[in-house]
A and B are shown apart, each in its own frame.
Chain A
Amino acid sequence: MTGRLDPRRLLPGSSDLESLLDRVPGGFGLPQVPADRAPESVVRTVCGFCSTGCGLEVHLRDGRAVNLTPDPAHPVNRGVACPKGWEALSPLAGPGRATRPLIRNGSGDLAPATWDEALDEFCSRVAAVQAEHGPESVAFLSTGQIPVEEMALLGALTKFGMGIRHGDGNTRQCMATAVVAYKQAFGFDAPPYTYADFEESDVIVLVGSNLAIAHPIMWARVAANPNDPDIIVIDPRATETAMAATQHVAPRPASDLSLFYGLGRMLIERGAVDTDFVEAHTEGFEAYARHVESFTVDRVVADTGLPAEELERLADTIAGGRAVSFWWTMGVNQSHQGVRTAQAIIDLALLTGNIGRPGTGANSITGQCNAMGSRLFSNTTNLMGGHDFADESHRRKVAGVLDIDESVIPTEASWSYDRIIEGIVRGEIRALWVIATNGAHSWINQSHLSDVLDRLDLLVVQDMYADTETARRADIVLPAAAWGEKTGTFINSERRLGLTTAVSPAPGEALADFWIFAAIAQRWGCGDMFRRWSHPEAVFEILQELSAGQPCDITGVAGYDEIYSGGVQWPRPAAGTTTETVDDEGIERRLFTDGRFFTPSGRARFIVDEPRRPHEVTSDRYPLVLLTGRSSAAEWHTRTRTSRSSTLSAMTSDDLWIDIHPDDASARGIERGADVMVVAKRARVRARARLVPTVAAGQVFLPMHHPDTNMLTAPGFDPHSRQPAYKHSAVQVHLAKSWEQTSPIG
């Protein structure tokens, strides 16, 4: 529809305005649709924002996407979507698209170039850096937003073709903790659940998860639970999800490990241990029981600030549950001891036998649309297919499937994101290739990263937009086609493979990341290595072969045709040999129904550790704990895409608002809407005060999508997963003087 005034509309005779809003039957089983967008055909796809993996029906006219509606037949979302899903097409047409390669010229500007020039520049400069500083001096940072076929091609091209050693993804920021927790506890990175578990529980425990806002369609599944479940939300903040809870437990930030150990002790005291399950299918329970012995109610009360009665009620509810499911998200993952906290949740599920049955599980809800794909196939932390770089038999298997020389496969995993950044500081990494992520906005202690990027000899950014904070600093920008402009496979939080399809032409000369990697492979001279990788579906077949015999075996999937409608959850081995429960229609699959885990012993492990102090604690100078998180379902990933939809933008604020408790505000003379400075050791940030009792006294909250927020976050990492701990920084807040502005400190 036009955004411009049509002069004919001024004429008295013009009377066609009402017809602009005509609605007509959509056909294809659709509801009524706008007449000017009535589809000629409909194609299904999977949403490319979060890990829920909703099915969308894209309406096409002249072979182009003109509208979409949520897919009523899709087992995940059943005809509903969140605002991002509804608006998934808008970012494609938004301003700022990268339509031609750009190369920074002698005068320091990014100037348009041909693809041939850009590929030559890329290959020659990468090769030059490698020649001078060694092949490992080039690294890449990728994403959980692109299909597995592209991730795999990137991982194979860089590590097997170009000799690059180190690469990681923005997935480090969202689910590395869950990966490590699962690997150690279950023997494989295997979230065990299916979304039907939301509906089959009678007790749902959500830890550090504002599910209603972060994963609205998963929340819809909770809302569809017919059992009138107890919903326990463990979160320092009174979130939208906490509003809908039957019990909101608000421990002091970063005190949850103590809480879960204390709960374990209380459950043991209550005789809530499923002794049969524990004896038959787990190991380490005695050590666990000894460990939690010291987490008495008094200690937990002191650590968490929770009243004893609340702990008792919580323990009673869990002990009394028929099917208790535990779910966690970033409140746990983005913590200084996230792995052990996640494992403490797993411990609770194991000791109560709440795993492998409908409505149970220790369940990590991941973030990005294809974070789960990256966990298996990105070839960064794991050798592709969920294998181990250090395992010689795994290397041999992969080399065999790919028909490559085993010696090109590194024998160790990549450095993690933070180690790559440190490598830049130390001069070990001289060139960085960034694909579809915006670290200059999202990385913890952002100003530091900003400074670090300047030290590189070469920064290449491959993105659908040329104007992200990161792309603006690049030496070379490679224009990428976006979700909706390419075809490939995503894996969602419940291990469901789904097909995301090309429904809209890419602008200008933008290419799918797949074709960019292919072009680089060819230009680099390693095209022969990828003879079989001729198109995404061919790569999918390679990935199926790689998965053979693994817990994530997908050899039984009948290609794109099978995952096009509704998708398939892994495992799906070829011969149908899976022992997993599949419901009558084959739609829902959960793991560990036979009590066998992927550890060598087949038993799940109880894992415990001593709680540690957070990496940054409050002080007289910085007395408030800064929490960060999602403030709206209408924002995604540094707003690179969502800001291009004016419908989504209208739901959020460009101003930075800090949530502060009225008591903390009045102690500082801060009134509603006042301009304040939020000061950490690292930066001072100007914001406006929103006085709300939904944050506790002593805590403040900032939305993570604002570009200034991560100037404040304290660089701490989980020691096991190297995931940044965004959820705990020490700050002070005071009324802003007119001259005070946002700036880094030091």
Chain B
Amino acid sequence: MTTLAPAVPGLVPTTVRRAAPDAPAGLTPIDEFLGRQAELTAVERFAAAHDAGAARTGDSFWRDRLPATPPGPGQQYGFEVDLDACTGCKACVTACHNLNGLEEGEAWRRTGTLHGLTDAGPVVQTVTAACHHCLDPACLNGCPADAYEKDPVTGIVRHLDDNCIGCQYCTLTCPYDVPEMRPSLGIVRKCDMCSDRLAEGEAPACVQGCPTGAITIGLVDVAAVRAASVAEARVVPGAPSSSFTAPTTVYRSERLTGGVSGFGSISNGTDVSKSSRRDAAPGEDCSPDVAQPSIGEALDGVDDAAQSTRPAHAHPPLTAMLVLTQVAVGTLAADAALTWLGIVPDTSAVALLGLLVGLVALGASLLHLGRPLLAWRAVLGLRHSWLSREIVVFSAFAGAAVADAVLVTSGWFEDIRPVTRGGVLVCGLAGIACSVELYVVTRRTWWSRWRTAGRFLATAMTGGVLVAGAVHLTGGASPDRSRLLTILLPVLAASLAVGILVPIIGLPRRGRIGTGAGDLAATRALLRHQLTGWVTARAMAAGAALLLVAITSVTTISDSPGPLTAIPVALAALIAIVGEFFERHMFFTASAPPRMPGEPS
């Protein structure tokens, strides 16, 4: 029998061993134990034995977890999850992590837990989810850099890591929260259904890793999935509407549906099983009181309590970019309006300041990118990505603003000034419109069109009138300061009111999870609890700015206001813009995104 270690008498007293002629001189006992510890004798002894061992016949193990043939015309691969067989061990998550060599903490499959009550009794159900490899992938549609492709044969939605610029827009557009930013790499990564493995007839990592075979790969009928992806359909109760992206994952459960398998998106890859659908009309009550809900509500009432209770990512560079582009556009617009009304003279100062703010904003947006030097790629998605459009339009805005600033500063070509100024305004407003649409397409109700447009325009108006007003109040070219201040106060009051009220009007106390109302209820809870400090700070900033302008107007109403009135207005501008930063912080953090149910943030 071989032994694990050389025959060193480990516990023989030191003195005895040192007396041995072949003992290394000066080796203390503890040195020897440390030396023994350093020997990985098992590796030497057993690795060879393993090499000689028979090759494993692993593929027979997962053969029945894969379709017998590749997808034919009108078909694609899809994950199938047998919820009855899934007991929630989460091995799929670790198998994905380890077999794909992902970064520490990274996994392309996640789980959530649903709790509820059916006629058969209480239910606890783990839901495992990876990418749903949608027919209409929101990640791909939103990507400005064309870093996604949908394989025409397999239907797998692949992320092309080398094309990714790290803008993270896909993390906002995907209703299932699938793509995840890897800050250390500067890019997003996501599940590719282990396409290399599938190509070789090997099961994806999560499929291999499932101890009970609950996850398999199936062939789905593309037309059937498309037909089934109606507004009310969901892959599982509490998930976002399948109408957004036409997801291909099939979840089955007889336990939860009383014998009818499938949840409404698709069942057995072909038919729609409406009878088992947990339809969830927006606005329906989703009270946590699950005293006796019917089977139709089985899992809707209670989802993992962790869900929707944590603020989302803040995206500070995007906050800065949004607020400052809007202030820049607003400033130039306000300046144009005031000039046109004849209240102020046409000066270069505002144009230059507006340009400066705009350039800072665009610079800030570069900081948001994981790979800023690849920013040029962001225009590639112009045909489908609102982000590409926003970038192109704001670039045009910057160009027009530069031209306009040059003209107004130099006094050259005065007769084409209206053209450049018009170009600035058109591009600026179009840019803001792109910003609005960019968030609207994510389908988050907190980012609905009117809430978002209200916010962004209010920011533009608030910042614009204050900045333009402050600059003109300093002006030596005899502006009509009384009239300016008289206009400033009501415009500011109106824009602040819009900015504060429009987003929060109609936030419901309760809403069913997986619906827009449920998301808004979660937003409301966030604003009332975790984000109350931001709400307060934002309100105080708005109040302080308004108060400063009001005091300035009132105290100078009888006299002819002097250039010193610019100081409190400039201060008000600063405070109000800081307030807009607070608002934009909440725009991101209070957003309760649609996603798979029960998922811990």
| Residue ranges of A at the interface with B (Cβ–Cβ < 8 Å) | 1-6, 9-12, 15-18, 20-21, 23, 28-37, 41-45, 57, 60, 63, 67-69, 72-73, 77-83, 85-87, 90, 114-116, 119, 212-213, 216-217, 219-220, 223, 238-241, 243-244, 248, 481, 485-487, 499, 501-506, 509-512, 515, 518-519, 521-522, 527-528, 530-531, 533-538, 558-561, 564-565, 632-634, 646-651, 653, 655, 657, 662-663, 666, 671-673, 688-694
Contacts and interface: CB of A to CB of B under 8 A. Distances in A.
Contacts of B91: 80-83, 85-86, 216, 633
Interface string B33-57: 1101111111100111111011111
Interface in B368-405: 371-374, 376
Contacts of A219: 87, 89, 211-212
Nearest to A41: B47
A41 B37 contact: no
Given A531-B12, A535-B4, A673 B305 contact: yes
Nearest to A80: B211
B562 interface: no
A693 B122 contact: yes
Nearest to B28: A116
Given A518-B10, A646-B104, A501 B3 contact: no
Contacts of B161: 17-18, 20-21
Residue with the greatest number of chain B CB neighbours at <10 A, chosen from A11, A43, A646, A649? A43
B247 to A, nearest CB: 23
Contacts of B519: none
Main secondary structure of the interface of B (DSSP, over half): loop
Contacts of A499: 42
A511 B39 CA distance: 11
B115 A690 contact: yes
A30 B160 contact: no
B115 A41 contact: no
A368 B415 CA distance: 86
Given A87-B94, A240-B124, A691-B302, A18 B160 contact: yes
Interface of B: 1-5, 7-14, 28-30, 33-34, 36-43, 46-51, 53-58, 61, 84-85, 87-91, 93-95, 97-107, 111, 115-117, 121-126, 160-162, 164, 183-187, 189, 194, 196-197, 200, 202-203, 208-213, 255, 288-291, 302, 304-306, 309, 371-374, 376, 600
Contact of A29 (B2, B55, B209, B376): B55
Given A86-B97, A534-B8, 9 more contacts: A43-B50, A67-B101, A212-B89, A487-B4, A487-B41, A502-B40, A504-B40, A535-B3, A657-B305
B541 to A, nearest CB: 26
B212 A223 contact: yes
Contacts of A688: 305
Given A17-B185, A42-B50, A69 B98 contact: yes
Q: 5 smallest A-B Cβ distances: which pairs?
A: A34-B101, A29-B56, A646-B105, A212-B87, A86-B94
B101 A691 contact: no
A560 B4 contact: yes
B12 A527 contact: yes
Contacts of A632: 90
A92 B160 CA distance: 33
Given A23-B197, A41-B50, A515 B164 contact: no
B37 A506 contact: yes
A213 B11 contact: no
A97 to B, nearest CB: 14
A43 B121 CA distance: 46
A536 B91 CA distance: 32
A72 B62 CA distance: 11
Nearest to B60: A72
Contacts of A17: 161-162, 164, 185, 187
24 contacts: A1-B101, A1-B104, A5-B184, A28-B50, A29-B57, A32-B99, A32-B202, A44-B46, A79-B58, A83-B90, A83-B91, A86-B98, A90-B104, A501-B42, A518-B33, A531-B11, A531-B12, A533-B11, A535-B10, A561-B1, A632-B90, A647-B106, A662-B291, A662-B302
Contacts of A34: 99-101
Contacts of B41: 487, 502
A655 B125 CA distance: 21
A666 B292 CA distance: 13
A10 B124 contact: no
A633 B211 CA distance: 13
Given A535-B10, A647-B104, A238 B122 contact: yes
Contacts of B88: 212-213, 240, 633
A4 B288 CA distance: 42
A83 B94 contact: yes
Nearest to A534: B10
Contact of B40 (A503, A510, A534, A655): A503
A44 to B, nearest CB: 6
Contact of A647 (B94, B255, B289, B372): B94
B13 A694 contact: no
Contacts of A485: 37
Contact of B124 (A3, A243, A646): A243
Contact of B183 (A5, A23, A535, A561): A5
A67 B98 contact: yes
Nearest to B59: A31
B99 A238 contact: no
Contacts of B106: 647
A43 B43 contact: yes
Nearest to B305: A690
A532 to B, nearest CB: 9
Given A2-B184, A5-B183, A220 B212 contact: yes
Nearest to A510: B37
B85 A223 contact: yes
A9 B185 contact: yes
A521 B11 CA distance: 7
A511 B33 CA distance: 8
B305 to A, nearest CB: 4
B1 to A, nearest CB: 5
Nearest to B5: A535
Contacts of B189: 21
B100 A663 contact: no
Nearest to B118: A693
Contacts of B100: 21, 23, 34
Contact of A243 (B39, B58, B107, B125): B125
A99 B33 CA distance: 15
A481 B186 CA distance: 36
Contact of A530 (B11, B57, B99): B11
Contact of A528 (B13, B39, B47, B97): B13
B278 to A, nearest CB: 17
B371 A9 contact: yes
B200 A32 contact: yes
Contact of A511 (B37, B47, B89, B209): B37
A329 to B, nearest CB: 15
Contacts of B376: 12
A651 B373 contact: no
B184 A220 contact: no
A82 B93 CA distance: 10
Contacts of B12: 527-528, 531
B71 to A, nearest CB: 20
Contacts of B304: 690
Contact of B30 (A6, A79, A115): A115
Given A5-B186, A36-B101, A116-B28, A23 B196 contact: yes
B93 A693 contact: no
A77 B212 CA distance: 11
Contacts of B309: 673
B98 A503 contact: no
Contacts of A531: 9, 11-12
B87 A33 contact: no
A522 B115 contact: no
A648 B102 CA distance: 14
Given A3-B104, A30-B56, A86-B95, A511 B290 contact: no
